[in-house]
Structure 1
Amino acid sequence: MKVHDIAHARAGDKGDISSISVWAYDPKDYPLLKAQLTAQRLKDAYPKLLRGEVVRYEIDHLHGLNFVLHNALEGGVNTSLNLDSHGKSFSYLILGLEFELETT
């Protein structure tokens, strides 16, 4: 199962910081999202892209996670030659990660 099977994402940016929010479609899937989608998991999955600090904020009452990706936009919209200077593709990379389902 991939993250996009149980959640959707939105992206935003400010300067050289990208902010990606991941929202569970169904509240019952939020614990799986929360347990397996960690800041370290993102850094391990994309070490060449996420070179700065990654901070995760939990928004439990809305069943969502917000990831703040520091130094992720090669300087930001006004200074980067990156084709995705807003960081929108980070949401697609996160949604493409696979989950391990627990068997009981």
Structure 2
Amino acid sequence: MLLHEIAHARAGDKGDTSNISVIALQPENWPLIKEQVTAGRVAAHFGIADAGSVTCYSIPQLHALNFVLRGALVGGVTRSLALDAHGKCLASILLDMEI
């Protein structure tokens, strides 16, 4: 199954760092999300060679995970020539992860 079937996500940014929150649609899906959606898997999903640049923070009372991806916005929001300089589409990309 794809992550978007049991979760939704929001993305934010600060400089060249993106953060993506993944929130369970139903509380009963929280254990599966926490088990399957790890910092290492997120790094691999985005093709980030240095898995250490992805940090995961668990927010169990909200049934959510918050991922911080350092260097993901290549130069930062105001310096990047990327089409999505703020990285808002990264949340959608993460929701395409197979779990």
Same fold, judged at TM 0.5 (above): yes
1:7 corresponds to 2:20:
no
Correspondence for 1:58:
58
Structure 1: gaps (5+ residues): 100-104
Structure 2: gaps (5+ residues): none
1:98 corresponds to 2:89:
no
Q: Matched residues in 1 for 2:95 and 2:36: separation?
A: 12
**Does the Cα contact within 8 Å between 2:38 and 2:56 map onto a contact in 1?**
yes
Q: How many residues align?
A: 97
Comparing both structures, which one devotes a greater share of its residues to helix?
Answer: 2
Q: Matched residues in 1 for 2:45 and 2:19: separation?
A: 17
Correspondence for 1:41:
41
**Does the Cα contact within 8 Å between 1:51 and 1:72 map onto a contact in 2?**
no
Secondary structure of 1:94's counterpart equals helix
Q: Matched residues in 2 for 1:46 and 1:77: separation?
A: 18
Correspondence for 2:68:
68
CA displacement at 1:89 relative to structure 2: 1.5
**Does the Cα contact within 8 Å between 2:7 and 2:25 map onto a contact in 1?**
yes
Q: Matched residues in 2 for 1:84 and 1:51: separation?
A: 21
TM-score (norm 1): 0.89
Correspondence for 1:84:
84
**Does the Cα contact within 8 Å between 2:45 and 2:94 map onto a contact in 1?**
no
Task: Detail structure 1 runs of 4+ shifted over 2 Å in the superposition.
Answer: none
The alignment yields a C-alpha RMSD, in angstroms, of 1.0
Q: Matched residues in 1 for 2:10 and 2:56: separation?
A: 14
Deviations 1:23-66 (A, max 9, x none): 0010000000000000100111221xx35500000000110000
In our comparison, the structure showing a higher alpha carbon Rg is 1
